[in-house]
Amino acid sequence: MNELNTRTHRPIVVDCPPFDENNGGAVVLHILVDQLRALGVEAYAISLKPDYADIKSPLLRTLKRWNRRRRLGPFKTHPSMDVPLAPKEIIEHAIVVYPETRSGNPLQSPRVARWMLHKHGFFGIDAKIGPNEEVFYFQAAYVEDFKEIPYDRILTMGYFNEYMYKNLGQVRLGTCRMIRKGKHGGYLIPEPDNAILLDGKNHREIAQVFNSTEIFYCHDPYTAFLYFAALCGCVPVVVPQLGLSSEDWRAGTEFKHGIAYGEGEIEWARNTSHLLKSDVAAIKDAHKASVLRFLDTIRKTFG
């Protein structure tokens, strides 16, 4: 299949922000380019700036653009990944992949694949999905409002960081907490407590906290940090979400063991934590298969 993909695909251009290990969306967009190139596909990144067209104030638009440039800086990628920027001359012939946070089709490409890395509109952005776009999704929970999207449109991959997250056998005391995307869902965020807040810390700092605490409370129900905590021996607990049962949450995630949904499952999570690594091995196989299905779909659709 690799040889077929290399011969028949147009170039693939993925709309990527600069690499940021603390931004899961940016990470997987870079991984997609890297994995496509590893398969022999001509794939590139393109770093588009948001136009903030929904902001009416010219001054506020300018401030938003300046703040983004200051925060992100020039385009960068992880040194272990092969993620070159697209040459301008190939863009008009390419298949373009946009995340759900990109509104419309700024490259005016007639060949668009939209990758739903979260629920449509979750971050307040209307993707304006076109009628001829191919839509893929990272988690089934992200397209529950798109009943017509078939199961084989799942496109998923992970940045498992197993070299950094390890159980060091240290003495443990207390808890830690992460809000992340939980702040966007309209859910109750607790008053400051004794839990160590992980938001804003880098991976090395978070790994240290996971090795020194007993319980990790996570308000973001679909994040790899749940797995990272378990690798370090800290029990991950998803803070229950309004209208989302344990069964529905577990059906929408690839992690089937070692993670509690609510405090009532903490003991079960401890007793099944040894099965989480086998879950991840199956996940990695499924990720590779999803990339190959993605390639087959867009090859048939766009030539």
Residue 169 falls inside a structural domain: no
| Tokens read off for 235 | 């029990």
Q: Tell me: do 18 and 130 sit in the same domain.
A: yes
What is the reported pLDDT for 183? 59
CA-to-CA separations, 267 to 166, 224, 228, in angstroms, rounded:
21, 21, 18
pLDDT number for residue 4: 43
Residue 70 lies in a domain: yes
Q: What is the pLDDT of residue 34?
A: 94
Give the chain's domain count.
2
What confidence score (pLDDT) does residue 6 get?
44
CA distance 41 to 34: 10
Which of 300, 303, 299 is CA-nearest to residue 36? 299
| 92: alpha, beta or left? (left if phi > 0; alpha if psi -120 to 50) | alpha
Q: What is the pLDDT of residue 224?
A: 85
Whole-angstrom Cα distance, residue 247 to residue 262? 12
- Three-class secondary structure of residue 121 per DSSP: coil
Q: Which residues of the chain have pLDDT under 50?
A: 1-8, 186
Predicted local distance difference test score (pLDDT) of residue 193:
81
**What is the distance between the alpha carbons of residues 274 and 176, in angstroms, rounded to a whole number?**
22
Identify the domain boundary among 159, 194, 218: 159
SS3 45: strand
Between strands 112-116 and 95-99, the pairing is parallel
Two structure tokens written together for 192? 């400051």
* Relative orientation angle of helices 276-302 and 24-38, to the nearest 10 degrees: 70
At residue 67, the 3 state secondary structure works out as: helix
Task: Show which of 129, 159, 189 is a domain's final residue.
Answer: 159
Q: Kindly state whether residues 190 and 260 are assigned to the same domain.
A: yes
Q: Are residues 151 and 9 in the same domain?
A: yes
Alpha carbon distance 100, 127 (integer Å) = 5
DSSP reduced 3-state for 281: helix
What range does the domain containing 225 cover?
175-279
User: Do 196 and 145 have their domain in common?
Assistant: no
Under a CB-based contact definition with an 8 Å cutoff, are residues 156 and 255 in contact? no
262 neighbors 280 (Cβ within 8 angstroms) = no
Which residues are within 8 A (CB) of 164 and not within 5 positions of it... i.e. 6 or more apart? 203, 204, 207
Query: Cα–Cα distances in Å, from 194 out to 147, 175, 228?
Result: 42, 8, 21
Query: Are 103 and 252 in a shared domain?
Result: no
